[in-house]
Each structure stands twice: as C-alpha cells, then as structure tokens.
Structure 1
C-alpha cells in the first residue's frame, strides 16, 4: 500500500493590526506578521508558500535586509509582543537558521537592519536596530550564529514609533533615524562604535508614525509621516568648505540647514540637513511611507524618486517631483470608498514598482497593479485574505467543494478553489455574514444553507443568493445547472443588504432592484425624505476572478432566513446531521438547566426536544455518519451518546434517548473534553481532552474501550 502524502494547498490569513508588519522583498516574497507567525506570500502565484514560527507573542514588525546591490534578500528580521527580536536566514521560503535577540522588557514595535559588508564573505555582518514599548532602542551586532546588544538608547518616558538605518553618503558611517511621540525625528550617527545624537528634526505637530531612508545622486533622503496628516522629506548632503565660507560671508539665501560633523577614515566631514518638501494631501493620520526600491540600470544603482504613502483616510498616494519644476506632486491616488473599514496602516512597493500594496486596520491586504501602456491604469488585483482574529469553527459543504469558517472577528467567510487554465488556487469568494457579535460556531444544513451561532442567545440561518451561486459557478468551473438543481421550486434572492441599525441581512429580490433603478432614473422628483434617501441595496456583480476586499464587504452577504430562539446564554456549538434534517445546538452554561442540548427540525425550524444530561457547557457535538447517534462532550469532563428513535413522542415523530455516557468512577479524561469524532462506519467514536488523551469507544457496546 502506497504511503499517503499530505500537502498544504491553502493558508488563509491576514496581517496583524500594527503599522510595520508587512515587507515586500526583492526576492519576490511578501512577508507579513499574522498572529504569532510570519507568512511568506507570493503575490504572482496568489499563494502563501510558508510560515515562520518562532515568536510566542503577536508579530508586530517585519523587515527584509538588503545585503547586496539590488539582489534578492536572504535575511529577514522581525519583532513581537514576546519582547523578542528574531533574525531569520532563508533559502527561498525555507529557514536555514535563526538568531533570537532578547533584551527588551516590553513589546517590540519597530525593527530595521543594515548589512555592513558587501555580501561576498561567508558570514554576513549585520547591524540590527529595534524599538520597543519599554522606551528603549537597542542596537545589535549579529555575525554568524551569534548576536549581542552593542548599545541601548533610552528615551525616558517617550516612545519610538519607527526606526530606519542607512549609511551617510561618501563616508559609509551608519546613521539612525528615530520617529518619536514627541513630534521629533532624532538622528544618531555611529562614532567610535557607539551611536551619538547629532540632531532633532522639528516640524511635525503630532506623533511620527513612519521614517524611511533613500539614497539618490549622492544625497540621503528621509521621508517621515505623522498623525498631523503631513509627509515631510528631508535631505542630508555633504557640505564643502567653500559653501560654508560663502554662507558665513552672507552671500547666499537658503533654507535653514542643520550642520553636524562626522569622523571617518577620510577625516572630518561636514553634513547638512534641510527640509526638502512638505506633502499635503491626506485627510487623516498618515501611518506609512515607502520609497520605490532602487534598480540596477546601465551598471549603476538608481533610486527612483517616487514615494508611496498610506493613511487612515483609506487612500494610498504616489508622490513624485515634477520633471520641469521639481515640485513634488500627487501622481496617483487609490483606495476605498465607503464601507466600514478604518483605513490603511502601511504600504509597500513591489520590487519592479509595478504593484503597490496596503494593509488595513482589519488586516486585509489591498493590491493594485499597472501595465506599461502609454496611459497606465492602476487596477485592483486578487490577494490572500483571512480572519483577523481567532477562527472558532470551520466546516465543509456537503459536496466538499468549499469551506465556511467563523471567527472572533465577527465574520463568516467562504473559501473555494479558483480554477483557470489548469491552475487551482483557493481564495475567499464570499463573506456571507458580518455580525455585531463574536462568532462561535457554524454548521452546514445543505449545499447553500448554514446555521451559525455567536455571543448572543440566537441561532441564525442563512441561504445563498443567486448572485453568489452564479459567481461560484464561474470561479469554481462547476455548471450552474448542477448548482441550481438542489433549489428547484425555491425562489433565490438576488443578494442581501444590512439595514443601517440592524444586524440581520435582508434579502434583496429582482423586484427590489428594479424599483431602485426606476427611482434613480425616473423623471419624477422624490416626494418625501424616505424617497430622497432610499435604502441602499447591494449591487450585483459578475465576477471573473475572486472578489476584492471592497466587494467582499458590501456585495457578498447572504440573506438571513430564520432566527432560532430557545437558549438562555451565548451560543457555543452547533451540529447538523448528514441528511440536513436535524440541528443540535448548545450554549454556555454553568448550571445543568442551561447545559441542555436543543434539537431543531429544519423543515419547520421548530424545537422538537431538549436533551438534559450535562452540568456544564457542551463544547462539541457530532452526528454519526449513519445519523443514528448524536455524541456530545462537555466541560464537565463527561461525554453522552444519544440514540435517534424515529417513533417518538414529538410532533415530528423523532426523539433522542440517552444510549450511553461516561462512567464517572472510571472516567479516562481528567480535564475538559473539547473534541469528538466518529469513524466512517459509525462503529467507533473518539473524544479528546486537554490532558492530551484520546478515548476510543464502541458505539453499540460502550464497555469496550481502548486509549491512545
């Protein structure tokens, strides 16, 4: 018998809610922190190729380290809420080695690194700088497999929001920029092995959120952004002795320049810092700036003077100087309109500058790309997505063609394969439910029907609209007639919308769309305020590829068709039998009267029975493959097995009786039982608990057990 090979075909994830958590390297990989891991994403293949696991807390910042002239990176540095900085050496998407740098006493919020050699040596000599919530910036020296802290710079009670490392032009001396909450940019240069403060750049009027260096034509440019909605570009250049004498004689009128001197191998060099320009265009705090990566052209490195910025006003702007006047102007603006999102936390350029990416407050990635035509148009592209908080439950549809998940981010998400030209990749194609409570459980009750539970006392039942079925047919390459065959005789809604002050998805039918169209296009003026401001319905879309984030938020909701009342506390778990005729649900409970399992009949959505046995919350339930048994496990460290009787005392003719349960005197599990499952032939079931024990039991003879 051939050995089975299990491969990862899809990883659904999103970026953490921190400004410096995404980095796009010249190696083509996009690295971003997702929970305690770092995801390596390939935008061209639209797949997550791997994850880096080393942090024990949330990853807050990620940065690629450029160790050669415009070549692909092999080093990555990250910082997290575990107070730790980790240096990763990669070969493709595989980790060769990593170095843990420990010394901070609070969460690390920003990192950067500098390669101090040309990359020709066997061991790279890396300088790493990290800023944390302990009001300290640490400078680390890493060589080989070891790393040590060279220096700690304390900022008292202040916080450093971002750091950036570079080398002063001509002298190859490291320079460090720290953006602080005191509205200043503090500049440090390395002298005699230690960083010394040489200047503080004033001008911003609120917390500085991002700083980044770029080298162009022998000058060093620093871009900074802040919560004052402004971006400032500073220039550092070498001052010759002749220019200093002319200024002393009063022959030149120039902008204010801050002067500092640097010792190097070539002697004493004078540098000047001046404000190059102030960019105003965003309407809310600017959280990220990023220079277009340098390119190798005609045998020399060239830095395009193009800057990308991201703001909480839900836009990204491309800035560049005018060719004739040299004045910095807005070139392109992309972003979101409407919706309930809270703006962008950061931005990145692709290595070739043809794509730009932003990550939002809720973790979603937004990708735009352009071609090289005479009039390039920036258009949104397909990108990976996923929950931005814990995933609580997931289930397959009965045909095994897509999965649906719920999480503490208060959303229900549907993932399906995208089939095109012999290539198959998985993507989020719908967000059926966007709720006001944290989601806890879900169960499919048909191919396009599901029931979900949240931190409320109500179960909600949803049905797929026609617009989703049509788009799912195109994306998954499944004939539409096959998908609609299970809904014969049932009118499908076109889509769903959410009232302004409601939590229920309201069905939108074809007649609603026609009346809205007539109201908007008709010659008659609105006669009342209600007519002037009508209910905003969803807009049906015909997808040729998986939807982007803005469509997922507004146009992929499913109508809510039923609410089920009966539980006294927040929902915790729900299960449906394989025929889709019975649903079992349970809620949080600390007393036996609240720990009862409620049985619902899907044909009428009536409560047909309440099963009382457990004394604490039922954590999971599972129907046997032949639908003859219902298994339940609980926080009270017991399990119960219920047998279905087709001739019962209920109106539906169905009832459950207790068939077997845990013998408390000889109970195997000493801790809370969290999971249960069945064998494919319905003869055995298993229960697993936090004591890492699994108990296998025969369904018909509960006295025969063995343990793994």
Structure 2
C-alpha cells in the first residue's frame, strides 16, 4: 500500500495521539484510521499518512465512528460508533488486535471518559445519546473490561464529554457536560457499584461540549493548629455560548475541621458549590472566565507537563476556525490568549469561499525528546490543520498534514499520461493526487472543484483538461491553470504539462470564484489594482501567488483557496442527475448518462468536445439508469472503437463508433445478469472485441464478439461470495493476457489473471484484510503508466475508492 487518504469525521473527540508509538488514530466514516509515526529524527514529518484502517473482524460493517481515544499511557485504543458499539483495540508490533467489543447500548455513543489524574487507573465511562452512562473497570482475572454500574442522567440531558477524577481506590468523581447549559457532577462508589448525581453547576448559557481537568499541587492547610492536605483540581469547560470557564475543585477528607471565613467579601467572590460523600468533602467555585472565541468552543485541553498552577497553559479550538493558547499572567493572575492560530472567519462560512468551516477537535502534542510542540485540529472538510514550533522558536509554523475525502468516493480518473489522479466524492469536491519526486507516498496537490452539489463522476480529456458531473444535471469542463502546471512540474516532475491546450489556446493563469457564484472563473491576467499581499477574497482576488512559494505539498488553506481550476464550458441536456461519463480515445466525443426509470431518459447523450454541442443522435437501448459507460481500450492493431454501457435493467449495450459523431448499435444483451450490473471493463486486443461485466448477482462475466456474425456471447464467469461492485483491467501483453482487479460490496479486493484467448480466470492475489477498506468498493482505476521495479517486475499503480470515504493507492 503506497498511500491511504480518508477524511476525518465531524465529531468531538474524534481523534487522539499515542505518546508511546507517536501515532494518530481518528474516525473516518465507519473505520478508525491509523497513521505512521508523526515524528522522525528531524521533528514533525509532513509524510505522515494513514497506513491502516481498523474494521471489525466479524465482517459486520460498523456504524459511523463518533469517538476515538487512547487509554492514557497505554497502547489500548477505544472507538465508539452510532450503533452503540465500543471496540477496544491493542496495538502490537504486527498490527492491531481487537481485544473486546462492548455493546452497552443500542443508541449512538456520544462520548467516552477516562481517568485524568491517574494514568494507572484503567476505568472508563461511556455516554450514549439517550442519556445513560455506563461505568467500566478492568477485570484483571479475566483480562476484560466489565460494567460496574450505570446511571440515567436527568431527563433531556445526554453526555457530550466526561472526565473521571480518581479520589481514592473506592471513590471517583465524574465531571459531565452535555445537552444543557450545566455541568453535572457525579460520584461513584466502587465497592457498592453506585453512581449518584451530587450537583449541577450552572453558569454557561448553552450546551457544554468540552471539559478537561488537571490536578495541581496539593496544598497543606492549617486549621486549629492541625495541618490537613487539600487536593486541588482545575477544570476548564467550553460551551456553545463561546465562553470558556475555569473551575476549581477542592477535596478534603471528611474528618478535616470546617473553617468558616466570616470576613469574606461575598459580592467579590464566586459562589461555592459544596457536596459530601462518605469520606470526602468537595467544593467547586468559578475561578475565571475566558472570552475570545467568536463562535462555539469545540475543545479545551491542558498542556500536560506541569502540575503547578502558575505554569498551566490551556489550548482551545472553536467553530470560528481559530485555535488559542491561554496562559495566566504571573503578576495579576489574569488569563489571556498568548497565541492565536487559524483564521478570522464568520459563523456559517462555506468552504467554497475558502473558509475551513470551523474546528471540531484539537490536540496539543509535546515531544520532549525533540523539543517540539505540535497542535493538530480537524475541520469541516475532513482535513487536519497542523502547526509546529521547534525549540525556542517564537512562532508556530503551518505544516502539511493529513487530509482526504469527507464522504464516499464516487469516481476516479487518471490523467491521459497516468501521472496524476482525479477523484470525486459525495463531499462535493474533485481532488487531484500526485506523487512527488523522490517520494514513495502520494499527496493531494489540488482541489480543482469545490461545488454545491454531490459529485458523481469525473473523466480526463487530456493531461490539462477534465470533465465532471453530478447531482446538478450539468457536465462542467475544466482547464488546468498555469500555476498548477508549474507546481506539478516543480514537485512531481511532470514536464508534459505545457502552456498549450488541445485547441491551441494557452492555459489560463488561475481560477477564482465570484461572490455568490458556483462557476470557477478563468483569469488570464492579474487584475488591475490588486497588489501582492492584498486580500482579494471578496472579488475573486488573484490566486496564482498563493502556491508559487510553497516548499512542500500544499496545506489545506492553499488547497481550498488557490488550487481551483477555471471552468471553461457547461454541457446541458440531461433531465436528471448524471451517473456516468466517458471520453473517446481521441478526446473528441464525451458520452454521458443520467438517472432514469423510463426508457426515454435512459439514453446516452454525446457531446462534441471541439464545438461543445450535443451530437444529433441519442443512443437508446436501456430502460433504467445506466451505471457505467466505457470506451474500448486503444489498440494499435484495431482502429475500431466501441462504447459499452451497463445498466440497472440488467442489460448491456455495445455500440461501434463509425467515425465522427456516428455510432452503430451492435448488441443489446437482455438479462446479461440476473441483478443490477454495476461496472464493466474492456479486455480487447487486436481483432478480439471482449469485455467484462460485474453485477449484484455476485458474478463477473467474460463476453466476446464474433467479428463476422457480430454476435456477443458469454465465454466464462467467476462467482463471488457477495455482490461485485467495481472492476478494472490492464493489458499485460498482446497475447490476450490481462490483469483484472475486482472489488466487492464488503470491501474485499481480488486480483485475477485473465487469458481471453483461453477464456480462463486465475486468482493471483487476495488483498490482505489490513489493507482493505471498511465498506463497499465504489470504483477501481488502473493507471496506464507502467513502473518497473529493481527486480525487473512490471507494476501498475491502482487507485481504489470506497464508500468508507477512503482512497487507496497501491502498486500491483
């Protein structure tokens, strides 16, 4: 596996860092993505990528992951999902092993809380979306986590964050924030297996979504000439009311004398909230209010390398796309934001304007060995933001980090030369991936299209032009701007991207999105009056300078703002959402189809790429939605070109292109499969016209046409355990040997050797489970660019898209 790209889910507590292994884990759709170490000998490495996605071993699809957390100071990972399942994984040298699956509830897991002040305590608590909490302990005899007790929170309240504070071996305190503007404080009696609600802290004006606590130095207090210890916990709470509150919790033994201060100025002190348990007395009061975020506070976390109150530092992130580091002034004790990262944004800003749409979770990662600080946060687009500070540096620097599609992959297309990859997704984007020189990993180098409709299909016309379409019913044509061509040349060594386009016109300089517009506007000259450094966002501004000076693959801000491709044309004609497009080998005919449940809409519409007009003839053969269109492989021994279409009506149709815009119907195969045909792939060579189809009926079938009678017959098939959803092929030699890669509905991937002359299928490899996605394979695409390894073995680069939001690039 060369690279895996998977967007992070939009949830609180959705990612976490393991200090022992220096790896990240985050929820991506229904899987947990695991990265390689984020540090090397020189510090943070921009080549950090996902190397594995964790799935349940029982082949049952998990629900969407809602919470991911490492158990402190261990290699045990917890993940919760919307089905109420909590999976517990153990990291080992040979990978992850599923230790235990818990099913405490049928409702979605809203949060998982761990013990904050004792790394040796393995207790944890689970909250669900119905208002119940479940307390678990580790049973050392059975080596399993078992439920100790559970508790129903007050009506209408469900937990969104919980912290456990260990008081003694028999006593715990739980700080719980959730769906009301209060913080519930619970006590746990271990010996009696009992949870009790002690008090509800008022103060916030909206839901409390984040709490983090830290135990500071114990203070020795003298009362009546007797000295007693007083433990102190400071916890921060963040809310949708945009405010962070700092609270102080003091803990004393129940046998400590009570000291009443009679001269306290009550108007100048905050109210104290007191409660007692069997062995301890507690007091909570408000210590400070931090105001700085302009939108919801999403997460707060303490810098975890000190227990001295005067040295505490707090990290906070918010829906205003900002991250702040707070510290108290040593002389006055007033808290202020020492560092502010991110961007100035307004609530509800869309990603089409370049705004990140706010941050969900944030983590403060300290590597003492390398003397480096890293701040990570995830946003609305599924991508992370990363800032690093080395040693005594004053400022944080932005770094390239993890990204990937936010929703299921819908289509994949390689450029004509096979140098880069275009990917569309239901997250309404088209993304460009390429491999830099002297690197074995791939990176996202562009986001040519950020749209307002789900993207369904994409196809390259040339190395510098592509088409895409989706739920909008319009096919849009895009040209690569010079800035992107120069970046790909600089980083990836793609020198074939010249300044001339197919029609002889020069490539545009850059693209911009007009205010309230959906179309990427082409600009060939820098607008007058716009100087370097001016903010031109409101008027589309000059975008070319944003990527000229970068020295590593672009960060998320650059991808969103400066890597759009200008749109040069729109193609109209379809009445419903477009499902598939393909382009003839000479790039002159664009064929497309749309969703349909009647034959008059189940037609193939062709467009001329030189005039951008629809061709006169519509190709009619189907009764329902056409799921895939594919032109035959370009073969030097056979100048004839064929178009194959497969459909939900279980038919396929075969058309011969007569030249220009004319097509001849060769065959309509009724009931080619017993269920929906999802995909097809060509295995034609020389005079042999042959192809493969795959279907929900679990079969892959080989079809060949008799050149004299024009009859098309089935010459073999393979049966699988589950529906076959994607297929692609590549020619190995001119004797009819093809490599075929097949994807199933359960995420499994098989590689076959197909001998078309002998009608034989031979399984070469079944991809290992750790390299498989966690959901159905939606598209497979093999690059036509051959790579020869040192051993002399020929390899092809394969891109695999899945409904689990992941894009996988492997060498096979």
User: Same fold by TM-score, threshold 0.5 exceeded?
Assistant: yes
Matched with 1:19 is 12
Matched with 1:223 is 236
Determine the C-alpha separation between the residues in 2 that align with 1:116 and 1:535.
51
Matching of residue 492 in structure 1 with residue 507 in structure 2: yes
- Check whether the contact 1:99–1:145 (CA below 8 A) recurs between aligned residues: no
Deviations 1:306-337 (Å, cap 9, x if unpaired)?
11111111111111222333322211001124
Matched with 2:633 is 625
Matched with 1:526 is none
Change over 3 Å in CA distance of 1:327–1:244 after alignment to 2 = farther
Change over 3 Å in CA distance of 1:50–1:640 after alignment to 2 = same
Deviations 1:234-255 (Å, cap 9, x if unpaired)?
2223337898543266579765
Determine the C-alpha separation between the residues in 2 that align with 1:156 and 1:315.
33
Matched with 1:197 is 197
Determine the C-alpha separation between the residues in 1 that align with 2:713 and 2:179.
66
| Higher relative contact order structure (alpha carbons within 8 Å, sequence separation ≥ 6) | 2
Matched with 1:87 is 88
Matched with 1:48 is 50
Root mean square deviation of aligned Cα: 2.9
Range moving further from structure 2, 138-147 or 22-31: 138-147
- Check whether the contact 2:432–2:444 (CA below 8 A) recurs between aligned residues: yes
- The 3-state SS of whatever aligns with 2:484 is helix
Matched with 1:381 is 399
- Check whether the contact 1:160–1:178 (CA below 8 A) recurs between aligned residues: no
How many residue pairs get aligned? The number is: 660
Alignment of 1:696-707 (within 5 A): 696-700=702-706, 702-707=712-717
Change over 3 Å in CA distance of 1:294–1:88 after alignment to 2 = farther
TM-score by length of 1: 0.87
- 1:220 Cα deviation after fit: 1.9
- 1:636 Cα deviation after fit: 0.6
Matched with 2:282 is 271
Matching of residue 58 in structure 1 with residue 64 in structure 2: yes
Unaligned runs of 5+ in 1: 1-7, 120-124, 522-530, 647-651
Change over 3 Å in CA distance of 1:585–1:251 after alignment to 2 = closer
- 1:347 Cα deviation after fit: 0.9
Matched with 2:3 is 10
- The 3-state SS of whatever aligns with 1:152 is strand
- 1:546 Cα deviation after fit: 1.5
Deviations 1:57-104 (Å, cap 9, x if unpaired)?
1101111111x4xxxx31111111112111111125821233111131
Determine the C-alpha separation between the residues in 2 that align with 1:111 and 1:470.
47
Matched with 2:102 is 101
Among residues 650, 672, 676, which one is paired with 2:676 in the alignment? 672
Change over 3 Å in CA distance of 1:97–1:190 after alignment to 2 = same
- 1:269 Cα deviation after fit: 3.3
- 1:661 Cα deviation after fit: 2.6
Change over 3 Å in CA distance of 1:146–1:19 after alignment to 2 = same
Matched with 1:540 is 545
Determine the C-alpha separation between the residues in 1 that align with 2:112 and 2:313.
23
Range moving further from structure 2, 235-244 or 9-18: 235-244
Matched with 2:618 is 610
Change over 3 Å in CA distance of 1:568–1:170 after alignment to 2 = closer
Change over 3 Å in CA distance of 1:520–1:638 after alignment to 2 = closer
Determine the C-alpha separation between the residues in 2 that align with 1:485 and 1:449.
11
Determine the C-alpha separation between the residues in 1 that align with 2:151 and 2:507.
64
Among residues 426, 431, 437, which one is paired with 1:413 in the alignment? 431
Matching of residue 38 in structure 1 with residue 51 in structure 2: no
Change over 3 Å in CA distance of 1:680–1:691 after alignment to 2 = same
Matching of residue 287 in structure 1 with residue 298 in structure 2: yes
Alignment of 1:228-247 (within 5 A): 228-239=241-252, 244-247=257-260
Matching of residue 599 in structure 1 with residue 606 in structure 2: yes
Matched with 2:212 is 212
Matching of residue 476 in structure 1 with residue 492 in structure 2: yes
Unaligned runs of 5+ in 2: 39-44, 219-231, 346-353, 635-639, 719-812
Deviations 1:356-386 (Å, cap 9, x if unpaired)?
111113322111111223x421121101211
Matched with 1:129 is 125
